[in-house]
Amino acid sequence: MSILLNKNYKHIDSMCTLEKINFVYSFTKSSFKNHRVIVEIGTFFGAITQALRLSIENDKVKIITCDFFRWDDDKQKKYPNKGYKYGDDFSKEVINNLSHLSNVEIYKTDFTNLKINEKIDLMFVDAPKRNKYVIDFINIFSKFWIANHTKILFEDYNQFFSYELPATLHPINHHFKFYSDKSGIVVGEVKSNEFLNHELKKMNIREWSKNEIIKNWNEIINTGDNKKYLEKDISIFMHLFDNGFIEEAKKYAKEKKINFEKYSIKQKFVKRYIDTKKQKKHKKFINLIKKNKILRKINSKIKFFLKI
């Protein structure tokens, strides 16, 4: 089902491929009959917002979408000819892009400040990928999900460099049914949203030990269709490295014969994991955090002892 055939379709620039836009369009069209509320995080120019809106003929459905709408390096790289400068607000263009559609509420905000007070039928998530934001995302929105009904569409879930999204969701994986579309979008069907405290606590992937990282990644890779899209060994390497187990990460890479050349086209990857100067800085930073944590613990013990 192609969105291009919809009579109300208009071209909107997008960071998503047409394949992804079409998947969102046809998935929403075929899988939902009684929608009321759809929430999108990361509007950008509004291409997915349009796909969500056009897929539903029912005029009562409401689409809530949010973004900072602030021009940055990433946007400039992808759209160098738009004429925006770093920090510019581009929300006017988005409001105009979506002006042919009814019941679309556009909010210029960080998703952590989005005010939701009704149950959500469907979400499209194209922003939170780092550990902290994925935790925020779950804490904020999961209470509005409906068990055995709400569906979450994740963009970039399988992107090699951002391993944090699948890892953070691992402790609550069993509350979802996950599968991937060939376009790369991952669907998470909510089976239950009553997460236990210890599961939520485990979502802090920075607290995972070396053994937990390896054990959990052996499970993450078997979740949904992850095996087809994610690479376990490089994910374990990055995760060990980012948790401060730098020597173990190097040893693991050697053992598994990780071919770093394959990943060296990714500048961000090289900067973070291969550039030795940066590595030294990272090591210092991790040691400082560890020292600070110990200092904080000692401080609070002294305060407790002195009853301050």
Ligand X SMILES: C[S@@+](CC[C@H](N)C(=O)[O-])C[C@H]1O[C@@H](n2cnc3c(N)ncnc32)[C@H](O)[C@@H]1O
> Which residues would be at the binding site for ligand X (CB under 6 A)?
14-16, 41-42, 44-45, 47-48, 66-68, 110-111, 126-127
Closer by beta carbon to ligand X, 45 or else 163: 45
DSSP string, 107-123: EES-GGG----S-BSEE
Residue 277: helix, strand or coil by DSSP? helix
The residue among 162, 178, 94, 179 whose CA lies nearest residue 128 is: 162
Residue 104 CB, nearest distance to ligand X (Å)? 14
Closer by beta carbon to ligand X, 124 or else 245: 124
Pairwise CA distance, residues 33 & 189, whole Å? 16
Residue 114 CB, nearest distance to ligand X (Å)? 8
Pairwise CA distance, residues 93 & 95, whole Å? 6
Closer by beta carbon to ligand X, 39 or else 253: 39
Closer by beta carbon to ligand X, 14 or else 279: 14
- 39 touches 64 (CB < 8 A): yes
Residue 151 CB, nearest distance to ligand X (Å)? 17
Residue 139 CB, nearest distance to ligand X (Å)? 14
Residue 126 CB, nearest distance to ligand X (Å)? 4
Burial of 304 (0-12, 13-18, 19+ CB in 10 A): exposed
Instruction: Estimate the crossing angle of helix 232-242 against helix 210-220, to 10 degrees.
Output: 150
The position carrying tokens 């993450």 is 220
Closer by beta carbon to ligand X, 110 or else 248: 110
- 154 touches 165 (CB < 8 A): yes
Tokens (6 digits) for 167: 């890892």
Closer by beta carbon to ligand X, 67 or else 164: 67
Residue nearest to ligand X (CB): 42
Residue 93 CB, nearest distance to ligand X (Å)? 12
